[in-house]
Amino acid sequence: MPVVTRFAPSPTGYLHIGGARTALFSWLYARHTGGKFLLRIEDTDRERSTNAAINAIHDGLGWLGLDGDEPALLQSSRADRHREVALDLVKRGVAYRCPVTPQELEDRRNAASLLRQKRETDGHLSPEDGEKLDALLKPFRSPWRDPKKELPAGASTVIRLRMPDEGEIVVDDKVQGRVTINATELDDLVLMRSEGTPTYMLAVVVDDHDMGVTHVIRGDDHLTNTFRQLPIYTGMGWSAPEFAHIPLIHGPDGKKLSKRHGALGVDAYRDMGYLPEGLKNYLLRLGWSHGDDEIIPEAQAIEWFDLDGLNKAAARLDLAKLNAVNAHYMSLANDQRLADLFFARPEGASLNAAERERFQAAMPVLKTRSPTIADIADAGRFLTDLRPIKLTGKSAAMVNPEAIERLRGLAAGLDGLPDWSEPAIKEEIARYCAEIGVGIGKIAPVLRAVLTGGAPSPDITLVLALLGRNECLARIRDQTG
d(C-alpha 11, C-alpha 409), whole Å:
67
d(C-alpha 79, C-alpha 73), whole Å:
12
* SS3 category, 171: strand
Instruction: Identify the DSSP state of 34.
Output: T
Whether the CB-CB separation of 282 and 272 falls below 8 Å is answered with no
To the query of whether residue 259 is one of the catalytic residues in this protein, the response is yes
| Backbone conformation region of residue 391, classed left if phi is above 0, alpha if psi is from -120 to 50, else beta | beta
Residues in the chain: 481
Q: What is the DSSP string of 263-303?
A: --BHHHHHHTT--HHHHHHHHHTSSB-STT-----HHHHHH
Beta bridge pairs of residue 324? none
Give the active site residue among 255, 259, 280, 394. 259
Whether the CB-CB separation of 206 and 238 falls below 8 Å is answered with no
Instruction: Identify the DSSP state of 184.
Output: G
d(C-alpha 27, C-alpha 4), whole Å:
10
Q: Just list the catalytic residues.
A: 259
